[in-house]
């Protein structure tokens, strides 16, 4: 029985299929998807359809990302297009839905509405798309939209003294509540890293699949990770979010 955290997909169904083939998933495994299923490559609607079907066979936990919020609002509000979303991948997502029926769109809206803002497992490992700001942990977060949008958690970790022991009073209070924290949202490729990054007790598994990077899955127990090919090579005639 294995558990994998899977980074931001951004409409890259081909990368997801390639990755799952590497993992050789069984019915005893658990997949935790870190959010941002849509916006970028041309198969956003197809990604959602695939994930819905996958969850009927495999134990899947779906976290909500900021791009998922945008798509949910579009599906719910009579397809009213948010201009900011349109410019940040929404155009490609809208086009991916052209062949989908109204009934299928309703099923996808139900999928988006049931995404988790965060997930805490039995071993006190926290999974969320972006971050949180409360020094007292996620259950004390005042601005819950931060779970989808916050970058300060990761930025704080990057500048922290890496030699500080977790028992030290100087260890950042925000992260002391959890054994490990898994996030996406901020691509590791922003820091010229093509692989998952670990700082303090935080693991960032968004390896830039929306742009020039790869889609990543990490075994949260062994820390072994698996990656697709880079997304531009899988979608050679597209720009993604580049």
Residue 9 has pLDDT above 80, yes or no: yes
For domain 3-232, which architecture applies?
4-Layer Sandwich (3.60)
What string of H, E and C letters represents the secondary structure of the chain? CCEEEECCCCCCHHHHHHHHHHHCCCCCCEEEECCCCCCCCCCHHHHHHHHHHHCCCCEEEEECCHHHHHHHHHHHCCCCCCHHHHHHHHHHHHHHCCCCCHHHHHHHHHHHHCCECEEECCCCEEEECCCCCCCCCHHHCCCCCHHHHCCHHHHHHHHCCCCCCCCCCCCCHHHCCCCEEEECCCCHHHHCCCCCEEECCEEECCCCCCCCCEEEEEECCCCCEEEEEEHHHHCCCCCCCC
pLDDT band for position 192 (50/70/90)?
very high
Between 242 and 183, the higher pLDDT residue: 183
Q: Is 36 a residue whose pLDDT tops 80?
A: yes
Residue 169: the pLDDT is 85
Q: In the predicted model, what is the mean pLDDT of the chain?
A: 96
Residue 163 pLDDT grade (very low, low, confident, very high; cuts 50, 70, 90): confident
Tens of pLDDT, residues 113-141: 999 999 999 999 999 999 999 999 999 99
Residue ranges per structural domain of the chain: 3-232
Question: Which pLDDT band holds residue 240 (cuts at 50, 70, 90)?
Answer: very high
- Residue 68: alpha-carbon gap to chain centroid: 10
Over residues 76-99, the mean pLDDT reads 92
Percent residues over pLDDT 90 in the chain: 93
State how far the Cα of 52 lies from the Cα of 105, in Å rounded to an integer. 12
* pLDDT of res. 64: 98
Cα 111–Cα 12–Cα 28 angle in degrees, nearest 5: 60
Q: What angle do CA 43, 47, 52 make, to 5 degrees?
A: 155
Residue 161: the pLDDT is 83
Please indicate, yes or no, whether the overall pTM of this predicted structure exceeds 0.75. Answer: yes
pLDDT at 80: 80
Lowest mean pLDDT among 47-51, 170-174, 187-191: 170-174
């Amino acid at each position: 029985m294995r558990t994998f955290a899977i980074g931001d997909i951004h409409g890259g169904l081909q990368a997801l299929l390639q990755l799952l083939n590497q993992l050789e998933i069984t019915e005893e495994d658990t997949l935790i998807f870190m959010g941002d299923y849509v916006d970028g490559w041309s198969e956003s609607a197809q990604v959602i359809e695939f994930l819905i079907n996958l969850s009927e066979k495999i134990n899947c936990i779906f976290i909500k990302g900021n791009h998922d919020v945008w798509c949910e609002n579009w599906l719910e509000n009579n397809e009213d297009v948010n201009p900011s979303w349109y410019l940040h991948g929404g155009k490609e997502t809208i086009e991916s839905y052209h062949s989908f029926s109204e009934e299928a769109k309703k099923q996808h809206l139900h999928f988006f509405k049931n995404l988790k803002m965060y997930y805490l497992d039995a071993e006190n490992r926290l999974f969320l798309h972006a971050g949180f700001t409360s020094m007292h942990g996620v259950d004390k977060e005042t601005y819950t939209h931060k779970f989808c949008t916050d970058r300060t958690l990761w930025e704080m970790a990057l500048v922290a003294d890496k030699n500080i022991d977790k028992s030290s009073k100087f260890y950042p209070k925000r992260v002391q509540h959890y054994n490990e924290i898994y996030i996406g949202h901020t691509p590791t490729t922003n820091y010229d890293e093509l692989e998952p990054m670990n700082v303090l007790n935080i693991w960032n598994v968004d390896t830039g699949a929306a742009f020039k990077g790869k889609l990543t899955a990490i075994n949260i127990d062994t820390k072994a990770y698996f990656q697709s090919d880079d997304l531009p090579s899988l979608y050679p005639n597209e720009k993604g979010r580049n």
